[in-house]
Amino acid sequence: MTAVRIRRAAFALILLAALYGVAAWIGQGRLPDRVWMGAHYVENVQLLPTFPSLFEEAGFLLESGILPASAAVSLLRVLAGLLLGSTVGILVGLATGRASRAESLADPWVSALRFTPALALLPLFVAWFGYGEISKVLLIASGVAVVTLLGAHQGVRSVPRVYLEAAASLGARGAFAFRKIVLPLAFPAIFASLRVAIALAWVTIVVAELIDARMPSLGYLLALSGAYPRVPTMLVSIGTVGLLVLVSDLLALLLHARATRWMGRAA
């Protein structure tokens, strides 16, 4: 990251913040301040909260512990779902990549799951497991599993034959060759799919929590702030989700870079 690029990035972000601030300030007296909530009007709604009111709200939410608690719950669900889903997905994906028989067996199910939006499974899981942690974590896990499965499968499949041939002529075959050669080469594809899986996990959890809203979770906070409505809370919650997504994505990127250091620019 050169100095020029950092400068320009900072400029763009500051400009964005400034534009929002100006819009909020202009909107103070001019934007409608009552909202139709389907059955009645609600007064005193700030459609574009000013920065001071946002900071105040954020401060309140942090101090009272509401935001950290909600964020923690959502984060834990995401992590649980990621762990479960990626383990299953990667293992199955490696198997299908390696053995075409396994691939044929798994194919109908993977294809079916691929084209089902993960969210569509939520009502099913709720019907089977009731509202609660299991259905949510399972939902995230299914979406993650599909994505990582495809990534692992691709990763194994795309290993250039030359490496396997070189290994074979050095006496390495079967499971040993798989561990030492195929796996490292499949890493980049697996990591790439993990990044996608992380984004998917967050998207899924937000909606799942919006639909089945119970304290405490970020989705619930969002839903609650939508019901009143309390815009500063809403924006702070949205911002928190965005921040968590950003941080997880950056972490994944960092891990990817470290794990594929040896690849040079090819990764």
Partner 1 sequence: MRRDTRHRMLLRAVSVAALAAAYMLVAWRVSRPDVVPPAGHLVEAFADLVGRGYQLPSAPGEEHHHHHHSSDQVETLVRGGVTLQASLAISAARVAFGLLVGLPLGILIGFFMGWSRRADDYLHPIFVLVRSVPPLALITYVMLWLGHSEAHRLIPIVYAVATTAVIPAYHGVRDVASKYVIAARALGARGRLLYLRVLLPAAAPAVLGGLRYSLAIAWMTAVGAEMLMAENGMGNLLVGGGMWASRTQTASDPAVIIVGILALAGAGWAMDALARATTARLTRWVRA
Q: Report the interface residues with partner 1, using CB under 8 A.
A: 4-5, 8-9, 11-13, 16, 35-36, 38, 45, 47, 100-101, 104-109, 111-124, 126-128, 202-203, 206-207, 210-211, 222-223, 225-226, 229, 231, 234-235, 237-238, 241-243, 245-246, 249
The span from the first CA to the last CA of the chain, in angstroms, equals 18
Peptide bond into 229 cis (omega under 30): yes
- Report the nearest approach of partner 1 to the CB of residue 122 (Å): 8
- Report the nearest approach of partner 1 to the CB of residue 190 (Å): 17
Q: Which is nearer to partner 1, 29 or 38 (CB)?
A: 38
What residues have CB less than 8 Å from 3, skipping those under 6 apart? none
Amino acid letter, 261: R
Q: Which is nearer to partner 1, 18 or 166 (CB)?
A: 18
Structure-block tokens of residue 224: 């609650």
Taking alpha carbons only, the member of 242, 240, 221 closest to residue 230 is 221
Q: Which is nearer to partner 1, 78 or 152 (CB)?
A: 78
- Report the nearest approach of partner 1 to the CB of residue 254 (Å): 14
Q: Report how far apart, in Å, the C-alpha atoms of 67 and of each of 139, 156, 175, 227, 244 are.
A: 23, 41, 48, 17, 12
Q: Which is nearer to partner 1, 24 or 121 (CB)?
A: 121
| 236 contacts 61 by C-beta, under 8 angstroms | yes
| Structure-token match 């599993």, residue found | 145
| Structure-token match 């942090």, residue found | 62
Length of the chain: 267
| 71 contacts 79 by C-beta, under 8 angstroms | no
What residues have CB less than 8 Å from 85, skipping those under 6 apart? 140, 141, 142, 143, 144, 145, 148, 197, 201
Q: Which is nearer to partner 1, 28 or 100 (CB)?
A: 100
Q: Which is nearer to partner 1, 52 or 242 (CB)?
A: 242
- Report the nearest approach of partner 1 to the CB of residue 165 (Å): 20
- Report the nearest approach of partner 1 to the CB of residue 266 (Å): 13
- Report the nearest approach of partner 1 to the CB of residue 84 (Å): 20
CB neighbours of residue 85 within 10 Å: 27
- Report the nearest approach of partner 1 to the CB of residue 50 (Å): 16
| Structure-token match 């009502």, residue found | 123
Q: Which is nearer to partner 1, 86 or 225 (CB)?
A: 225
